[in-house]
A and B are shown apart, each in its own frame.
Chain A
Amino acid sequence: GEDVEQSLFLSVREGDSSVINCTYTDSSSTYLYWYKQEPGAGLQLLTYIFSNMDMKQDQRLTVLLNKKDKHLSLRIADTQTGDSAIYFCAESSLSGGYNKLIFGAGTRLAVHP
């Protein structure tokens, strides 16, 4: 079945790089996503990668995709306190004729001085 797994917590020092990892199961996923949720808010799309790519860079964010291992990672360079949030990995799964987003449980990133 469809499943997305990610570690629950990550703590980093301000200025360091953060790497959040995710594994997914649906090899037919067309897109893979990273969403960010700040306290008291909804999820906001950070970035996404098409399944035929292995890397995408957007300013401080780098997404790496290993399709063979079904592994996705999000690297945040020069992590700031404003990056403290919950980060959700999601895969798009074609199920029942439509694209459904399957979310992981979320990784809570804590940035400390």
Chain B
Amino acid sequence: DARVTQTPRHKVTEMGQEVTMRCQPILGHNTVFWYRQTMMQGLELLAYFRNRAPLDDSGMPKDRFSAEMPDATLATLKIQPSEPRDSAVYFCASGLDLNGELFFGEGSRLTVL
């Protein structure tokens, strides 16, 4: 049963700490997206990769966020330093760049105190 896997599922940290979230996309998918979900803003697109190349990270605060795909089986989203306003659920999604259908992971719930 192919699915997108995200770790950690839950993370509580203190302001100023580094946070790294990981995503394993579905094997064979060539697009990876990072979304952030909050009650106030809904789903925000943070970053997009196609064939491991970053194509769009305009939704990401550049000073503290970074997204990478070191290989086809791993995408990472890093926040350094973290702030309380970063508290949210972060979703990774993968797909084939055909009809735009995305498969979402279960999310990483981040709480920054």
Contact = CB atoms under 8 A, between A and B. Distances in A.
Contact of A42 (B55, B91, B99): B91
B56 interface: yes
A96 B48 CA distance: 11
Interface of B: 4, 31, 33, 42-43, 45, 48, 50, 55-56, 91, 93, 97, 99-107
What class of interface size applies to chain A in its complex with B? Answer: 20 to 34
Contacts of B97: 98-99
B43 A45 contact: no
Contact of B101 (A33, A98, A105): A33
B105 A42 contact: yes
Interface of B is mostly: strand
Interface of A: 30-31, 33, 35, 40-45, 48, 88, 92, 96-101, 103-106
B45 A44 contact: no
Interface of A is mostly: strand
A105 B50 CA distance: 25
A35 B91 CA distance: 14
Contacts of A96: 55-56
Nearest to B35: A103
Given A42-B104, A98-B55, A103-B43, A48 B48 contact: no
